[in-house]
Amino acid sequence: MGFLNYLKLVSASVRHLCKADDPSVYWARNVPSETANSSEKTRKAAERGNAKAQYKLGLMYENGRGVSRDNAQAAYWFCKAAEQGNADAQLSLGVMYANGRGVPRDDCNAIELLQKSASQGNAGAKNFLGYMKASGRGDPSNERNHNDIIKKDAGHGKVQAQTKSTDLYQSIRR
């Protein structure tokens, strides 16, 4: 299944879950009503630390609704909300990392964020994790730690780790 078809499927699932034709209904109901009226009110609430407003502002930047489209700003606001445990922001930021939109592509960060979101029951995150694994983007949950340990041990003169570190470097360069 191609990535675009996958996104269409997820979008259709969200619409079905919302029982609404417009997926924005789903996002709007998760934002306090006082911040849903205008981009300025949303921005003020986001700047005050409201995680739902931060997520909403990220969506506004991602989609260019009420503000100029800006993936870097979207990632910034998703990150603010994700740090507060907002599962939808964790999903959105994870997808941005997976695709390299607004942030450098980084499968390790993507999967870490998606796992946090999925652990809160976010079905979209569970689906996207499945897509990443099915498309060969692996299970980097231990990969980053494993690579860091190899590099650390190699720095301390452990011959086996130095060999693995060299192999790792050569595999990255290919």
| DSSP string over 92-116 | HHHHHHHHTSSS---HHHHHHHHHH
CATH number assigned to the domain comprising residue 117: 1.25.40.10
Can you give the pTM of this predicted structure? 0.61
Name every residue whose Cβ is closer than 8 Å to that of residue 169 and which is 6 or more positions away in sequence: none
**Cα–Cα nearest to 51, from 19, 9, 83:** 83
Same-domain pairing of 78 and 110: yes
Q: What is the pLDDT of residue 148?
A: 52
Q: What is the pLDDT of residue 39?
A: 82
Same-domain pairing of 83 and 164: no
Residue 170's domain spans which residues?
142-174
| Eight-class DSSP state of 33 | G
Q: Across residues 136-144, what is the average pLDDT?
A: 58
pLDDT in tens, 59-69: 999 999 888 99
Same-domain pairing of 18 and 89: yes
Q: What is the pLDDT of residue 134?
A: 83
Distance CA 174, CA 67 (A): 41
Number of domains in the chain: 2
Q: Across residues 147-160, what is the average pLDDT?
A: 50
On the question of pLDDT at 161 being above 80, the answer is: no
In the chain the first and final C-alpha atoms are separated, in Å, by 27
Same-domain pairing of 161 and 95: no
pLDDT in tens, 79-133: 999 999 999 999 999 999 999 999 999 999 999 999 999 999 999 999 999 888 8
What is the distance, to the nearest Å, from the Cα of residue 123 to the centroid of all Cα atoms in its chain?
14
Strands (E), 19-122: none
Q: What is the pLDDT of residue 5?
A: 57
pLDDT in tens, 3-58: 555 555 555 554 444 444 444 444 444 544 443 457 889 999 999 999 999 999 99
Q: What is the pLDDT of residue 12?
A: 53
- Quick one: which H or E segment has residue 172? helix 159-173
Same-domain pairing of 38 and 89: yes
Least confident of 76-90, 127-141, 152-166: 152-166
Same-domain pairing of 39 and 98: yes
